[in-house]
Amino acid sequence: MIEARILNFIEHLLYVNQSINLVSRKTTRDDLIFLVEESRLLLSHIHTKSIVDAGSGNGLLGIPLAIWLPDVTVTLVEPIHKKAKFLNDAKDKFQVENCHVFCGSLQEFKATTANSLLVARGFPSLEVLVQNVLTFHFAALLAITGKSKIEKIYDSLAKHKQKVYNMPSRDNLIIYQLESVSRETK
């Protein structure tokens, strides 16, 4: 069951989407509820007090995480100004106090992230996310992504602690987890 604040956020997103392209015009309320419920699957893998959502876009990953985890600081990183403005307005409108918005790319984000979890859903370049984790900018990566993206990088990261979790009712998506500490250094 989705919380009322998240349902209200979804309604707001659909309303704003009429003037700002945040999701496909064909996307329904039920589609967005399904995506949020999938995001809930990440909760059991989150063990940090700080999360950075890379390429937050419409906020369907980061804002629900911030609502579900009120003791965790969530930073939404979004390079497109109109989307970052939407995220700022939405977090204020729905009083998500533990959520902050950074308007810029992940590479421009300069906050202290060594103990932060990097999360993403549908990020265009998994390699960029992985590079940020491997250069110790983040403690770990947790991404909902396509199987084909993982197949491209999995073997090259064999010395690092990686886990792959299947998404229920989705053949083409998985949850990918990568920790920044390699097995060689343990």
CATH 3.40.50.150 fits 4-185, yes or no: yes
Other C-beta atoms closer than 10 Å to the C-beta of 148 total 9
pTM: 0.93
Contacts of 21 (CB under 8 A, 6+ apart): none
State residue 172's pLDDT score: 86
Low-confidence ranges of the chain (pLDDT < 50): 182-186
- Identify the residue whose tokens are 């990686």: 162
Q: What is the pLDDT of residue 2?
A: 85
Give 132-178 pLDDT, tens digit per residue.
898 878 999 999 999 999 988 999 998 999 999 999 878 889 999 99
Spatial contact of 145 and 119, defined as CB atoms under 8 Å apart: no
Give bridge partners of residue 165 from the DSSP assignment: 175
Domain map of the chain by residue range? Answer: 4-185
